[in-house]
Amino acid sequence: MPFLVFLGVVILIVLIIIVANVKIVPQANAYVVEKFGAYSTTWSTGLHVKTPFITRIARKVSLKEQVVDFPPQQVITKDNVTMQIDTVVYFQITDPKLYTYGAERPIAAIENLTATTLRNIVGELELDHTLTSRDIINNKIKIILDQATDPWGIKVNRVELKNILPPREIQDAMEKQMKAERERRAKILDAEGAKQGEILVAQGHKEAAILNADAIREAKIREAQGEAEAILTVQKAYADALRMLNEANPTDKVIKLKSLEAFEKAADGKATKIIIPSEIQNLAGLVTSIKEVGEVGEKHI
């Protein structure tokens, strides 16, 4: 009976040891395994069993991209302005073995390296250039950090300057400068608006004058066309009358009578000197004689 109890206890202990040494590595993780204190292998995602009392898991490493927000650092620009700048570093562990054995405290090492690199870069720039060159500074820091952390199995993907805080008096001066710049732009916009308004008004007057001139010109053209058509109509009627008169084969007396009518119209009370052809004079005398004979006849009756 005691032997059976002892055997059961041994089996239970063995099962506990086996279960304790079965390890499951989650997705996007890696386990660095040592054997007798020396690096043995790196477990990737899946089920693994380690040898009890011989192998051990030295470090569990996450292969996901990680973000570290470092506290603000004091930096001095080229024109001796002290400011506070904090940085955010995005990195990823690419080699768990190098990450485990490359540096004692890799995150702290990255923080110190970021601070010194930032001081060196900003120290070569003036304040205005620093405020407008974030992308350049980010890229320079990223390149330097990526090269320095490569032996540690770390890949630096991106570096961002989170905040740049100049001294209070510098901020006040910048705010005044920005206010003055905004006021200047507002005045320029107002002047441009007034200018455009005057241009539009002038263009309106110009177009109105052009339209008025076109209307007057069109009226005169139509009036001239009407007068021309009237003259053509009169001339056509006169030509038709002459044609009809010519076709009627008039006598000399009729022609002379028509000449007398034309003479009457030509005088019209406006001429001061009129030359009468001899034919018309004779015809006039004839008409007068006929008129006198008519009057004598009326008296005798």
User: SS3 for 157?
Assistant: strand
- Supply 239's token pair: 């030509």
199 pLDDT higher than 50: yes
Domain assignments of the chain as residue spans, ordered by start: 23-61, 65-166, 168-249, 250-267+275-301
Max CA separation in the chain (angstroms): 198
Confidence at residue 252, expressed as pLDDT on a 0 to 100 scale: 61
In what helix (H) or strand (E) does residue 25 lie, and over which residues does it extend? strand 22-25
DSSP 301: -
CATH code, residues 65-166: 3.30.479.30
pLDDT per residue as tens digits for the range 35-93 = 988 999 999 999 998 888 889 999 999 999 999 999 898 898 888 888 899 999 999 99
What distance, in Å, lies between the first and last C-alpha atoms of the chain? 196
DSSP 1: -
pTM of the complete model:
0.56
* CB contact at 8 A, 100 and 58: yes
For 159: left if phi > 0, alpha if psi spans -120 to 50, otherwise beta; the answer is: beta
pLDDT per residue as tens digits for the range 248-293 = 666 665 565 566 565 555 555 555 555 555 554 554 454 444 444 4
- Supply 120's token pair: 């060196």
119 against 248, higher pLDDT: 119
pLDDT per residue as tens digits for the range 136-154 = 999 999 999 999 999 999 9
